[in-house]
Structure formats: structure tokens, C-alpha cells
Amino acid sequence: MSGRVLVLRPEPGASATAQLASTLGLAATVAPLSEVVPVPWSAPDPARFDAVLIGSANAVRHAGAALQDLRALPALVVGQATARVAREAGFAIAATGEGGLQNLLDDVARQGGPQRLLRLAGASHVPLEPAPGQTIETRIVYRVAYGELSQAAVTALRPGTVALLHSGDAAGHFARECDRLGLDRSVVRLAALALRVAEAAGPGWHAIGIAPRPVDGALLELARDMCQ
């Protein structure tokens, strides 16, 4: 192995990241800082919408029985992993984007795609700007519950390890946990999935890198380079 990473994202994504890390020659410590839990919700009348907008596989995994009423709608999703989970849940995938929901939304508008969109989202989600003619109605179907940094994570945060940050909320919580435990930020290396994630972590770290693309593969390649 050529380097070490600390995987903080919740399952099942954490194990998927660790597996991909192994293929890149990285030794991964899996120590989720949070878990995803469902939020009670009810599905609106699907006849009011042209498509479902999904930015995370968690929205499909945790939506529960109410999701059944929406399967007749095509799905607009971000990322191949989300597309796979949505397809397994019975959705037809109309478009798959990369780089976040806003990029996907803009692409759909340019191509004259579905305009009346139902967004399935987490309690903490990035606001979107619909294009002229587009409408978005949001239903919250899950939330992320954060916990304390585990002893396994603290032990893994030795010089040379790169901590992976997949979201802004996770980055902020990780930073607060490090401060609570009295960990020295100046010896910790971070790899962030996007600029906003890096900004949420705040200053004072030994190094903080930003993935060139907001996908797991690019994040892990960045971490591998930071381990050198």
C-alpha cells in the first residue's frame, strides 16, 4: 500500500469508498462519523410532475414505501451510483449528471427536458436555481445524524493519513470534533470532494486538497497524491 486514508462518510458509501481505495493501493480505515436515517414523508400526486430529481442514493434507500407511488416518473439523477440504486428501485433513468444537481438541472433545461420536478432530498441540501419554466418541489426523505469521532478515527489520524471529506456538513462536524478532542489541525491532511466542502472545514490544516471532479475516484486519486 502506498498511503493511508480515513473514510468518514456513512455506510454503505464508506465500504464502497474503502473498496475503491484498495484498488488504488490505499489502506483505508473506515470510521463513519454519521449515519443516514429516514424521515417520515408522504408522496404527492405524481401526475403533478414530469420527473423525479435525485442527488443522492440515500434518497432512494431511505424513502420507504412512499417511493412506490413515484416509480412511473422518470428519474434525473447525479452520479452512476445513484443511477444504479434508482434503477434497482424501479425507476427509468432519463438523465445522469456529474458535478452536482445544479449542473444536471441546467443541462436538462438546455435540452428542453422535464420541467415540473419533484426533488427527493436530505434535511440538509444544497439550494437549486431552476431555469425559466422549471419548477421544483422538494420532499425531505432522510437526514444525516452525526456522532463523535471514534477512537479508531483518532488513532488513524497520524501523520501521513489523509481524511476524506464528502460533504460540507461532514467537514464542519469533523473540524469541531477535532477541536473538541484537542487534536492538532496542523498535522492533519484533508481531501475534500468540492471547494464548498473544503471551505466548511475551515483553516489551520496541514494540507487540504480539492478533488478535480466531485466523484469518489477523483477524491481518492487526490488523496493518493497527497500521501506521497
CATH number reported for the structural domain that contains residue 120 in this entry? 3.40.50.10090
Mean pLDDT of the chain: 95
Residue 80's domain spans which residues?
A: 37-144
Regarding whether 105 and 27 lie in a shared domain, the answer is no
Query: Does the structure show a pLDDT above 90 at 66?
Result: yes
Percent of the chain residues past pLDDT 70, beyond the cut? 99
Regarding whether 47 and 139 lie in a shared domain, the answer is yes
Regarding whether 122 and 92 lie in a shared domain, the answer is yes
pLDDT at 2 (0 to 100): 66
- The whole-angstrom separation of Cα 53 and Cα 93 is 10
- Strands 34-38, 135-146: pairing kind: antiparallel
The pTM is what?
Answer: 0.87
- Taking CA atoms, 228 is separated from 39, 62, 156, in Å, by 42, 38, 17
Regarding whether 180 and 163 lie in a shared domain, the answer is yes
More confident residue, 158 or 60: 60
pLDDT at 106 (0 to 100): 93
pLDDT tens digit string along 173-223?
999 999 999 999 999 999 999 999 999 999 999 999 999 998 899 999 999
Query: Number of folded domains in the chain?
Result: 2
Instruction: Tell me 187's DSSP state.
Output: G
The residue from 144, 176, 203 where one domain ends is: 144
- Taking CA atoms, 81 is separated from 77, 98, 104, 105, 216, in Å, by 9, 11, 15, 18, 10
Q: What one-character-per-residue DSSP string does 22-71 give?
A: HHTTEEEEE--SEEEEE-------GGG-SEEEES-HHHHHTSGGGGGGGT
Query: Does the structure show a pLDDT above 70 at 46?
Result: yes
Query: Does the structure show a pLDDT above 60 at 1?
Result: no
Regarding whether 67 and 80 lie in a shared domain, the answer is yes
